[in-house]
Structure 1
Amino acid sequence: MTNASSPWRDFFVEFSRNRVALAAGIVTLLIVVVALAAPLIAPQDPYDLARLALRDARRAPGFVGSGGYVHLLGTDSQGRDLLSAILYGLRISLQIGAISGAVAFTVGALVGTSAAYIGGRVESLLMRIVDLQLSFPAILLAFVIAAILGQGRYQLILALIFAQYAYFARTAHGAASAERQKDYVEAALSVPLKARRVVLRHILPNSLPPLIVVATVQVASAISLEATLSFLGVGLPPTEPSLGMLIANGFQYLLSGRYWISIYPGIALIIFIVSLNLVGDQIRDQLNPRLQK
């Protein structure tokens, strides 16, 4: 039992030595916990239209609303408590980023690993499709698909999956191609074992480290893409208090001095994305010995 848990313990010990990464990890964990607990700790439910009052709209931070409580960060253009909207927005962004990232991870890993195992024309065809997709910016692909599918949470998730899976497929193909040439895979093929078993139980598990690194980056990328698409009006509908939608709703009021409607959601988004990227950078350095000093 001790030997089995030793690699994980060593990983976390090395991770904790980088104070910046450790701080980013704590911030990320805190944001995740706060986002998941939003229904319990938020002063107001932004989805409850009966509790919203237009007379409370665009009020400055510290305003005491008709509900009897203090709006610490003010209210947005719809009269929603901005702190509550940010907590729910973080929750929505986390859900969309995690779901789209997990599905894109699965699809991309299977495509890349299968292509490396099959080889030949199938490999060439699949990788040409992946390379063609990677030649376009992810935001452009996501924007086009989201515009075609229309506004909505599930439509946005599908658009993000399509825009991200190619990164996992290319990474998985490179790792699986290297594993495919190793002796243990050749021995498994000589038995012979079923192709599905060789891919899922031998090649894919040993290709996971680089995929995990890409996953940490892509989750942050998915959250950024969701905010961008919602800001551009092709992501979530206006009734969804996502961070991108909150920023978009307050953008028109910046010049009138009502900065808090856009600034505070923007700060929350930046902190979340930067923390995720710092954690991903540290994980990448630890899983890739060539990057270690």
Structure 2
Amino acid sequence: MATPATPLGRFWITYKESKVGVVALGVVAVILVVAILAPLIAPQDPYDLSRLSLMDARRAPGHIGTGGYTHLLGTDAQGRDLLSAILYGLRISAQMGLVAGIVGLSIGATLGISAAYIGGRTEALLMRTVDLQLSFPPILLALVLVALLGQGKAQLITALVAAQYAYFARTAYGAATAERRKDYIEAAYGTPLSRRRIVFRHLLPNCMPPLIVVATVQIANSIALEATLSFLGLGLPVTEPSLGMLISNGFKYMMSGRYWISVYPGIALIILIVSINLVGDRIRDQLNPRLRR
């Protein structure tokens, strides 16, 4: 069988040589599809108060509720079907991670490449600012920003982006600095090409491989950071069913034997984060020839 001519086709041929990478990618794809279709496949809308019954609160897995359907994973303290709540929670958590990762990538890549291309005082100012932020733990910065901005999706995304864009900026700066010293970039300066065309046509595409790897890691980190903030009560409001909030809601019932309220959302969160990280590891191996077998 001939190797596909497209770069994406060649990339997939080598990517699927890793069974772990293929399984992880399949898990991520299934989670995204399930998250998107949550309103259609969930047995219950867990945040429709008219469909909840306190008589079903803290029921064990397999209990048949007042609505007539079986709660396969049990219910929480408000009588919500836990399977439905996890499906909706995956939707919110994946959305927060993807949006924060894409926005952080855009801002960080712009700053890093601009600093490497412009140089001089602009480079020093931008990168010293990035280095200063990298000296603070992301969770600490996110906690401060959420406390200042308040609860809500927009506020939380702002906090996640502000806490993680520096990783993209530092990666983009390192890649752009290395590319800028190469002969083809130096030769481009002697042509009629505009600076914008040099940056977007030549410099940026060659900086994307390491940025893609960092993006997968930071998306997983954003999901974990959002879950941590929601667990502490500083993330999304109670009307937004993130996985972190579901874990927090059931944590106080762990000692009473009602483990399922926290354990099942926790398992879903771990599967999501680990799968994204495994996909990122495989992409890193593919884009770095020194890591290939």
TM-score by length of 2: 0.96
Question: Which residue in the other structure is 1:266 paired with?
Answer: 266
- For structure 2, the 5+ residue unaligned runs are none
Question: Which residue in the other structure is 2:205 paired with?
Answer: 205
- 2:108 paired with 1:108: yes
- The CA deviation at 1:82 is 0.4
Question: Does 5-14 or 132-141 show the bigger shift?
Answer: 5-14
Question: Does 149-158 or 182-191 show the bigger shift?
Answer: 182-191
The residue correspondences of 1:164-243 to structure 2 (distance < 5 A) are 164-243=164-243
Distance in 2 between the 1:76 and 1:116 partners? 52
Question: Which residue in the other structure is 1:15 paired with?
Answer: 15
Runs of at least 4 residues off by over 3 Å? 2-6
| Aligned-pair identity (%) | 69
Distance in 1 between the 2:32 and 2:5 partners? 25
Distance in 1 between the 2:241 and 2:118 partners? 45
Question: Which residue in the other structure is 2:290 paired with?
Answer: 290
- The CA deviation at 1:196 is 2.4
Cα deviation, 1:258-288, whole Å, max 9, x if unaligned, reads 1000000000000111111111001001101
Amino acid corresponding to residue 80 of structure 1 in structure 2:
R
- The CA deviation at 1:151 is 1.1
- The CA deviation at 1:6 is 3.5
Question: Which residue in the other structure is 2:119 paired with?
Answer: 119
- The CA deviation at 1:49 is 1.5
Distance in 1 between the 2:251 and 2:127 partners? 41
- The CA deviation at 1:244 is 0.0
Amino acid corresponding to residue 148 of structure 1 in structure 2:
L
Cα deviation, 1:75-116, whole Å, max 9, x if unaligned, reads 111111100000000000111001110000000000000000
Distance in 1 between the 2:189 and 2:47 partners? 55
Instruction: Let me know the Cα RMSD of the aligned residues.
Output: 1.4
- The CA deviation at 1:194 is 2.9
Amino acid corresponding to residue 43 of structure 2 in structure 1:
P
Count residues with an aligned counterpart. Answer: 292
Question: Does 22-31 or 190-199 show the bigger shift?
Answer: 190-199
SS in 2 for 1:95: helix
Distance in 2 between the 1:221 and 1:241 partners? 19
- 2:90 paired with 1:90: yes
- The CA deviation at 1:138 is 1.2
- The CA deviation at 1:3 is 8.4
